[in-house]
Amino acid sequence: MTGRRTPDADSATRSATRPSGRSPDRSADRSAGPPPDSPDELRARALAELLAARERTSALTSCVDDPELTAQHSPLMSPLVWDLAHIGNQEELWLLRAVAGRDAMRPEIDSLYDAFEHPRAERPTLPLLAPDEARRYAAEVRGRALDVLDSSPLRGSRLTDAGFAFGMIAQHEQQHDETMLITHQLRRGAPVLTAPEPEPAPPFTGPAEVLVPGGPFTMGTSTEPWSLDNERPAHTRLVPPFFIDTTPVTNAAYQSFIDDGGYAESRWWAPAGWDMIRSGGITAPLFWRREGGQWLRRRFGHLEPVAPDEPVLHVSWYEADAYARWAGRRLPTETEWEKAARHDPVSGRSLRYPWGDTDPTPERANLGQRHLRPARAGSYPAGESPLGVRQLIGDVWEWTSSDFLPYPGFVAFPYREYSEVFFGGDYKVLRGGAFSVAPVACRGTFRNWDHPVRRQIFSGFRTARDAAPTEADRTDTGPLGHV
């Protein structure tokens, strides 16, 4: 993601099939979008994002030998070599065939790398391209795709306007890079990934929760040029007032839930969640284990003490929901999360990011695999929202209470299988991105989704509670949707 995220086991990718049409978005949009760029600026941005994605893909696949690339390290994940060739195949489908109108390079492999045709559990049995062949194929596609980018006017169709197809492919590759990072966390081999630690931050001493005032706000976007279909269109929502945690729930706070018998009390759990932990013998977040009175975790091959002040990681929706019930709170809705992240009470606008309309920087958010862990809870004051909420972008994906559903006026683009086929299932929405997510695939409107049982993804959460409405909160300002 994990945009996102896939038709198979987790939320970290989406596969393309066939282009489809789209109707225009609504024009009434009080959300922000980037200023329009010239074709040369768009081309330079697309090139930079494509190159950055490929550099990361190379790093994630060159750090292990061929047997590790072809092995399936978990039935929840594909072999790394499948992701590598799938990245090239999707780039060929969209940039060479759909945009440039060229003939297929390797039509015989299309079905092998169609995520809908072959679930992850069976992919190791397919006649996949060998690692060297997969690399050559992806590199040849990339060379031709850059020629297409050089010659494209970046206008004339919805697929090419503002470089959308190139941005979509850069996001797709980065989402698979996140998927491959999850595979590296699951694999049992020796550590192969390194990254600097997050900058040390002083202990957070601010308020534990923030009041988000009630009233209307603009959710979604109709102006962000590389936004994906499930983020569109912008529309107005009326949100009652609520309190939300200033930071994500920490490991120390979650340990209190464990120590209080949280995993042994059915009253905190949704029935399906209780069945999951009982049948699986689950007593703590994934990758945790207790030794000598101390909680340890496995992180990319290293065994280390659980850091008490980091956001809790690798918990399912059921675990997040149970913790919230135990704490006398609840998970925020997706609408509440986005209002806390984007609403500017002074201007009334919805911002692109919590800190404003400018792109992410290392001072504002922990993104892009710059680190291999979340930063301390309360970090990144420069990334704080106007309402005072921190770490809404980066660090951990945050579970919400909401099911994955379309916005009013949704139209699938450029293919139904990215979002539409997942609406109405048991998927729960995650927001905000994690340390594993590239900035190009993360923004205030970005929606991720996954099954509530998933724990291998880089997921955490924060909690919320209701607040009493005021007269100002009840003011009706026009036609509204509801949470």
Condensed to tens digits (0 to 9), the pLDDT of residues 396-433 reads 999 999 999 999 999 999 999 999 999 999 999 999 99
SS3 204: coil
Tokens 């929901």, located at residue: 321
Q: pLDDT-based confidence at 223, cuts 50/70/90?
A: very high
Residue 351 lies in a domain: no
Nearest to 168 by CA among 394, 422, 176, 32: 176
Where residue 37 falls among pLDDT bands split at 50, 70, 90?
Answer: confident
Q: Are 142 and 91 in contact (CB under 8 A)?
A: yes
- Tell me phi and psi for residue 20, to 5 degrees: -140, 170
Q: How far is CA 30 from CA 33, 248, 347, 388, in A?
A: 10, 28, 10, 21
316 has pLDDT over 80: yes
Cis bond before residue 107 (omega within 30° of 0): no
- For residues 287 and 19, which has the higher predicted lDDT (pLDDT)? 287
Q: What is the dihedral of CA 420, 426, 431, 434, to 10 degrees?
A: -110
| 321: nearest Cα among 256, 392, 268, 391 | 268
Percent of the chain with pLDDT over 70: 90
> Residue 170's closest CA among 114, 80, 87, 101?
87
pLDDT mean over 442-467: 98
Q: pLDDT for 126-135, tens place per residue?
A: 999 999 999 9
d(CA 227, CA 34): 11
113/102 Cα distance (integer angstroms): 19
Residue 219 in tokens: 């959710």
Gap between the Cα atoms of 188 and 482, Å rounded: 46
Q: Please, which pLDDT band fits residue 469 given cuts at 50, 70 and 90?
A: confident
Please indicate, yes or no, if residue 133 is contained in any of the structural domains: yes
Per DSSP, what are the bridge partners of residue 356?
353
Which residues on adjacent β-strands are paired with residue 141? none
* Domain annotation covers residue 442: no
Residues 284, 262 contacting (CB under 8 angstroms): no
pLDDT at position 473: 52
The whole-angstrom separation of Cα 99 and Cα 118 is 26
Instruction: State the total domains in the chain.
Output: 1
Residue with tokens 């994605």: 53
Q: Is residue 391 classed exposed, middle or buried when 0-12, 13-18 and 19+ CB atoms within 10 A define those classes?
A: buried
In a domain, 107, yes or no: yes
Query: Quick one: average pLDDT of 445-471?
Result: 94
Is residue 128 situated within a structural domain?
yes
Average pLDDT of every residue of the chain: 91
Whether residue 147 is contained in a domain is answered as yes
Contact between 179 and 77 under an 8 Å Cβ cutoff? The reply is yes
- Reported as a single tens digit per residue, the pLDDT across 233-275 is 999 999 999 999 999 999 999 999 999 999 999 999 999 999 9
The yes-or-no verdict on residue 21 having pLDDT over 70 is: no
User: Cα(307)–Cα(319) distance, rounded to whole angstroms?
Assistant: 19
Task: Give the integer Cα–Cα distance in Å for 158 and 381.
Answer: 38
Of residues 245, 258, 252, 279, the one with CA closest to residue 326: 258
pLDDT confidence of residue 31: 62
pLDDT tens column, 180-193:
999 999 999 899 99
Q: What is the pLDDT of residue 393?
A: 98
Residue 473: which of 216, 211, 209, 210 has the closest Cα? 216
pLDDT for residue 30: 63
Three-class DSSP category at 163: helix
Average pLDDT over residues 299-320: 98
Instruction: Judge whether 294 lies within some domain.
Output: no
Residue 124 lies in a domain: yes
pLDDT, position 309? 97
* Three-state DSSP class for residue 356: strand
The owner of tokens 């299988």 is 417
Q: Which candidate, 198, 177, 194, places its Cα nearest to that of 63? A: 194
The CATH number of the domain holding residue 159 is 1.20.120.450
| Per-residue pLDDT tens digits for 77-100 | 999 999 999 999 999 999 999 999
Q: How confident is the model at residue 1 (pLDDT cuts 50, 70, 90)?
A: very low
Which residue range forms the structural domain that includes residue 142? Answer: 39-186
